Amino acid sequence: MKLPRRIAAEFLATAFLLCAVVGSGIMGERLAGGNTALALLANTLATGAALVALILTFGPISGAHMNPAVTLSAAILGDLSWREVPAYISAQIVGAFAGVGAAHTMFGLPFLFASQHERSGMAQVFSEFVATFGLLAVIWGVVRTRPTAVAFAVAAYITAAYWFTASTSFANPAVTLARSLSDTFAGIRPADTPWFIIAQFAGAISATLLFRWFQSKGSE
Amino acid sequence: MKLPRRIAAEFLATAFLLCAVVGSGIMGERLAGGNTALALLANTLATGAALVALILTFGPISGAHMNPAVTLSAAILGDLSWREVPAYISAQIVGAFAGVGAAHTMFGLPFLFASQHERSGMAQVFSEFVATFGLLAVIWGVVRTRPTAVAFAVAAYITAAYWFTASTSFANPAVTLARSLSDTFAGIRPADTPWFIIAQFAGAISATLLFRWFQSKGSE
Amino acid sequence: MKLPRRIAAEFLATAFLLCAVVGSGIMGERLAGGNTALALLANTLATGAALVALILTFGPISGAHMNPAVTLSAAILGDLSWREVPAYISAQIVGAFAGVGAAHTMFGLPFLFASQHERSGMAQVFSEFVATFGLLAVIWGVVRTRPTAVAFAVAAYITAAYWFTASTSFANPAVTLARSLSDTFAGIRPADTPWFIIAQFAGAISATLLFRWFQSKGSE
Amino acid sequence: MKLPRRIAAEFLATAFLLCAVVGSGIMGERLAGGNTALALLANTLATGAALVALILTFGPISGAHMNPAVTLSAAILGDLSWREVPAYISAQIVGAFAGVGAAHTMFGLPFLFASQHERSGMAQVFSEFVATFGLLAVIWGVVRTRPTAVAFAVAAYITAAYWFTASTSFANPAVTLARSLSDTFAGIRPADTPWFIIAQFAGAISATLLFRWFQSKGSE
């Protein structure tokens, strides 16, 4: 498909993803009466379900990356031309902020406002490495052998990772940036984003290289 | 399939959908001990699961629109004859009221009784625009490329949208009308329905036009 | 497949189904700290998930009816020989009691003990009619057009129906009988079972006739 | 695929599975405010979702056993060479401990520390027999007839079994060993592991023999 349509799809898909992540966090926290497990359950359910819907909808148009780490990894493996990477990543970042702003608007909050939610320390950074490593492993493990199952595999992985990583698994640099301007349940302090993003790219590249070996036609 | 069977299917599918939405709202609220997040979780789970079952069951007969906005959009795209639109929409509306009445009967309430649940203001109306835009995007994004996944994509989308929109995502004019005569968890004041319905049709038409561009054989 | 294997499969599948329904009810109630919505959520999740697993596992062997109303309906539609109906239903009933006993044993309770959980009145009986009508509609709607989706459709339907019917949707005479000897969360007083079973067969037969019309090669 | 890659896949898959089981147990318990049903719901959701993702990802490489009882059963049925069994089981056990250690690291706990969570008595041991019998029944019932559904069937089964068995369904000797060195929600005292493991192998072998009969070309 031609690039303008794919860019529009990446923008829209990432906007809806952030809408789902941030909006359901707000709704969950408002209704949960102080029980954080219940708020996170709602947040998890909405995020996982949104991923199923968005990957099925936009996958056939743009691949539905919604994630600069995925786009970079696709370029490394030759699934995307390096020349298209900047357009993809720009659309994802702009879409992510638009989605956060839309969620805030729906819930009567300012369009964007900096988060004060601290997420720092080695345990958090290691969590993001693990989370993104796993995400890319799932994508490359499934996309070559059962492309029709990718939406379900990715959604299931993120559903689990919200609970098994200490950082609730951002696993996505565009998502991380956009959530830094949301002082809500899903937010992250702007000052904490650089280490998250470094860990995410490190995890993504590690998994990419591992699956290149798994799927190579090597001698062992 | 012949029209009478398709009309019967639309009637029955929409009735069961409203039964699920309203009935699970009643049950959820009765059992949740005042925790609204828990009541909405039950409501979400039941609605999403009902959509999977109903679209798989009635899709092969009538398309399982259960929604005048979907029927209108299908007519715009040429998937349904304009002459059949009034019969479809009538069956959906009558079915929706029948389903609400059946749910009330199962829970020992009056057959129909006007809701006092206020849902007004720009944030709510904008939420319905977003909700229905997303719903139609998912339908037209998936139905052309992976028709067997539509039931799962739509159910996943609505599951997410219950939490990421401030209005809990009615996204359906027949559902909106019928829920105005249910003074229960899922209700909406009759006075608030016109703006909801206008926003729903606006969202539906916007998404329809966008996906006509995405899927056109144009030059860019 | 030969009858002895199919009978063994019906026995085993129904036993595991009741294990899941009754066992998860006990576990849910024990852990939920008095919140019935939470206990029913656990009960719903376990029942729906068990149906996915059991229909996928035993469907290819015996059809995985696990339900005398389904077996009767299959005989009416010619999908099962009438001569095999008694063996199927006997295996289901014996399996259902064995499953309840196994669940009780796992949780340190008596093998079988009569329930004192009252479930009576017209609203409950009407609920069982609706629940079983819907179940058979889903089965016959999906089995002819997308047999590989039956497990997901049935599980999704029951997940929803646990919440949208006032009776929590037994929808199965063998399940009803067996749950009458479990004085736990999922139980039903023996005295209340006859009306449940009558309503279940009435709902099943109504849906069977309706779908015979839907799928007939008639002139309208 | 060559053995080194399959061993690496078993190691990684089992590590991620234990990460999910133990990590989500820690997160669930920390957030649930003392409500064990809520903590177990989170634990269940994360485990089931992780199984979907891991079996889809690693199934095409190594079969994604992640479980010595499954590996043994596969060898009995001729699906795996007996010579490869020790390498598979070693990778699973080492991977399981690595996964527990990774989860502990993400949550700021010691790498490994013995559990004090008592799980003993006949009801628990019988639960593990039932749990593993059911797991192997699901695997062998589905893998021959609908291999693409195995990930969903296994995940659904474990989701249900967490709630319908009194032991929360370990059903896996490598998982049992590794959870004995985690003094968290998902832990088990080292002294209680031998009976769990014996019951698991007994359940696995029983189900394997039963399904050999179901799928044999015998005369009845």
Residues facing B182 on adjacent strands: B113
What is the chain D residue with the closest CA to C5? D214
Question: Looking at the partner chain, which of B38, B154, B163 has a beta carbon nearest the beta carbon of A46?
Answer: B163
Q: How confident is the model at residue A1 (pLDDT cuts 50, 70, 90)?
A: confident
Distances (CA, A) of A135 to B202, D54, D66, D143: 36, 11, 19, 25
- SS3 call for A113: strand
The predicted-structure confidence for D8-50, as pLDDT tens digits, reads as follows 999 999 999 999 999 999 999 999 999 999 999 999 999 999 9
User: B31 vs C44: CB contact, 8 Å cut-off?
Assistant: no
CA C121/CA D50 separation, integer angstroms: 43
Of B170, B4, B214, B11, the residue nearest B102 (C-alpha)? B11
10-residue stretch averages of pLDDT, chain B, 220 residues long: 94 98 98 96 98 98 98 97 98 98 97 96 96 98 96 98 97 98 97 98 97 80
Q: How far is D48 from chain A, CA to nearest CA, in Å?
A: 8
User: D23 vs A163: CB contact, 8 Å cut-off?
Assistant: yes
User: C38 vs D35: CB contact, 8 Å cut-off?
Assistant: yes
DSSP letter for A118, please: -
Q: Are A182 and A100 in contact (CB under 8 A)?
A: yes
Q: Are B95 and B13 in contact (CB under 8 A)?
A: yes
Q: Which chains touch A (3 or more CB pairs under 8 A)?
A: B, D
The predicted-structure confidence for A123-139, as pLDDT tens digits, reads as follows 999 999 999 999 999 99
Of B168, B163, B42, the residue nearest C162 (C-alpha)? B42
Angle between helices D85-106 and D3-31 (to 10 degrees): 30
Q: Are B133 and A112 in contact (CB under 8 A)?
A: no
pTM of the predicted model over 0.90: yes
- Does residue C43 surpass a pLDDT of 90? yes
User: B130 vs A102: CB contact, 8 Å cut-off?
Assistant: yes
User: C35 vs B39: CB contact, 8 Å cut-off?
Assistant: no
The predicted-structure confidence for A188-204, as pLDDT tens digits, reads as follows 999 999 999 999 999 99
What residues in C contact B8, CB-CB < 8 Å? 214
CB atoms near residue D202 (< 10 Å): 16
- Does residue A19 surpass a pLDDT of 70? yes
Note the pLDDT of residue C219. 53
DSSP of D14-62, one letter per residue?
HHHHHHHHHHHHHHHHHHTTT-HHHHHHHHHHHHHHHHHHHHHHHHHHH
DSSP of C12-49, one letter per residue?
HHHHHHHHHHHHHHHHHHHHTTT-HHHHHHHHHHHHHH
Q: How far is B208 from chain C, CA to nearest CA, in Å?
A: 28
Note the pLDDT of residue A104. 98
Note the pLDDT of residue C218. 65
Question: Looking at the partner chain, which of C44, C153, C213 has a beta carbon nearest the beta carbon of B56?
Answer: C153
Residues D91-122: b if buried by 16+ CB within 10 A, e if exposed = bbbbbbbbbbbbbbbbbebeeeeebeeebeee
ipTM for the assembly: 0.96
Q: How far is B124 from chain C, CA to nearest CA, in Å?
A: 26
Note the pLDDT of residue C129. 98
Residue of higher predicted confidence among D171 and A215:
D171
Mean predicted confidence (pLDDT) in D60-66: 97
Question: Looking at the partner chain, which of B38, B39, B107 has a beta carbon nearest the beta carbon of C123?
Answer: B107
CA D108/CA A112 separation, integer angstroms: 32
Q: What percent of chain D has pLDDT over 70?
A: 99
Of C187, C64, C24, the residue nearest C114 (C-alpha)? C187
Of C96, C83, C93, the residue nearest C3 (C-alpha)? C83
Q: How confident is the model at residue D1 (pLDDT cuts 50, 70, 90)?
A: confident
Question: What is the length of chain B?
Answer: 220
Note the pLDDT of residue A98. 98
* Mean pLDDT, all residues of chain A: 96
CA A103/CA A109 separation, integer angstroms: 8
The predicted-structure confidence for D40-60, as pLDDT tens digits, reads as follows 999 999 999 999 999 999 999
Mean predicted confidence (pLDDT) in C124-141: 98
User: D50 vs A165: CB contact, 8 Å cut-off?
Assistant: no
- SS3 call for A182: strand
Identify the helix (H) or strand (E) that includes residue D72: helix D68-76
User: B164 vs A108: CB contact, 8 Å cut-off?
Assistant: no
What residues in A contact B164, CB-CB < 8 Å? 19-24, 27, 46, 50, 103, 106
What is the chain C residue with the closest CA to D45? C45
What is the chain C residue with the closest CA to D128? C106
Note the pLDDT of residue D217. 80
What residues in C contact B151, CB-CB < 8 Å? 149
Question: Looking at the partner chain, which of D35, D121, D220 has a beta carbon nearest the beta carbon of C33?
Answer: D35
Question: Looking at the partner chain, which of A121, A123, A153 has a beta carbon nearest the beta carbon of D56?
Answer: A153
Domains of chain C, first to last = 3-214 (1.20.1080.10)
Q: Which two tokens stand for residue A92?
A: 């994802």
